A and B are shown apart, each in its own frame.
Chain A
């Protein structure tokens, strides 16, 4: 993992083009400039073959809910489009209508409806259609759940019991109490993966003896841009790969000080001929706090940059769609957008 210590020149064109420069009190060279005619003698016209050569994806970690991967060789405008789509434009299913038969809990109807809406639903959105405003509910655009819970005293509870969970039955209403009501051929269609809330232990309301909640809820397909409950991710972010450049060598007590300017694991101290020397080993771990730029002894010796086209992406799924599928769906959404605009433009040109 030991990366060689790179020497840096003072802001040559190559650096300005490929790096974002982090200075003590500002960040410079932020905009990408890799367009044709920008640099004499450099052909920066779009070349798909060149793009294919340079573009790389490396998955670092994957779990049921989270994925971290590196995306290298792409412009921020497109990486950002992926991020934006992940948050706002990948469709999911969420509760959008709550029909209240009875609600005598302390949670008022509209708050209850809002809480229910935010419960992530485990259902494949690709198997459903969007429901237009004037359209009636059918088995291809709506999922129905029933939630009917009544609280009462537990006859078997000990006399002096004070814990509501033991003293009463159904003192808490959980997402797991939502019972799916399959409609049409839904039971057959989803027999391998029955529709349910992603988590069964989300508290929706608390009840006391005599109180009850009896509601029917309808889930519809939607987009995060309409309401956050339809967003398939808890968060989707990226950061640019940090880079630490050192001119000359940092030795002795300075090396120790240099190391302490960075988070653990970024800089190692090696002893050569009895002299301590600082070596940058893992700039990826750096938070780019810029602490190192505050000290006079490192002035003109160290330079902090970020690699402009190296994105460290993190996708944290809410649980309804696995993170590796989320990225593919997001990119697909962007492709569909292009296709739609292209067709619409063709249609507009024909009618004119």
Chain B
């Protein structure tokens, strides 16, 4: 087991940690459903991702849970229609969330550049 791992590391030294996202064993009975386990993630990503997943009309069911409060992992369950797969829906959800974020930054910086607000050099209001 460990030997195969070493070989893989040699093939691609810049490989990302495969333990970050795993598919919970036995949850992907068909490509249209899966439970993804995100290591070191919490409500911050879990809930935001759940929302973008649910916005996808091909997603029949999406939710997240934190199975145990002292384990820093989040499970995300996705079930889709026949027209797509759970993995594809997951990628779309992540891309949509990225789009939202980049648009928020753009809008904020444009608003900041306009300078149409009360500015107080010193401390608090």
**Which residue on chain B has the smallest CB distance to residue A37?**
B57
Contact pick for B100, options A44, A66, A78, A332, CB 8 Å: A78
| In contact, B16 and A48 (Cβ under 8 angstroms) | no
| In contact, B100 and A51 (Cβ under 8 angstroms) | yes
Q: How far is the CA of A237 from the CA of B70 in the complex (A)?
A: 26
How does the 8 Å CB contact mask read for A65-84 relative to B, with 1 for contact and 0 for none?
11001010011011011101
Dominant SS at the A interface? helix
Chain B residues 93-125 with CB under 8 Å of chain A are: 94-105, 107-109, 111-112, 116-125
B53 to chain A, nearest CB (A): 10
| In contact, A61 and B120 (Cβ under 8 angstroms) | yes
How many residues in B have their beta carbons less than 8 Å from beta carbons of A?
56
B83 CB-CB contact with A under 8 Å:
no
On whether A45 and B56 interact (CB within 8 A), knowing A62-B119, A63-B123, A334-B48, the answer reads: yes
Q: How far is the CA of A347 from the CA of B110 in the complex (A)?
A: 36
| In contact, B18 and A351 (Cβ under 8 angstroms) | yes
A203 CB-CB contact with B under 8 Å:
no
Contact pick for B51, options A59, A71, A75, A351, CB 8 Å: A75
B30 to chain A, nearest CB (A): 15
Contact pick for B50, options A66, A77, A324, A337, CB 8 Å: A77
Q: Determine the interface band of chain A, counting residues with CB < 8 A from chain B.
A: 35 or more
How does the 8 Å CB contact mask read for B11-48 relative to A, with 1 for contact and 0 for none?
00001111011110000000000001010011111011
Chain A: residues with CB nearer than 8 A to chain B? Answer: 32, 35-37, 44-46, 48, 51-52, 55-66, 69, 71, 74-75, 77-78, 80-82, 84-85, 88-89, 316, 324, 327-328, 331-332, 334-335, 337-345, 347-349, 351-352
Chain B: residues with CB nearer than 8 A to chain A? Answer: 8, 15-18, 20-23, 36, 38, 41-45, 47-52, 54-57, 87, 90-91, 94-105, 107-109, 111-112, 116-125
Q: List 7 A-B contacts (CB under 8 A).
A: A58-B117, A60-B118, A61-B117, A71-B104, A89-B44, A340-B16, A344-B20
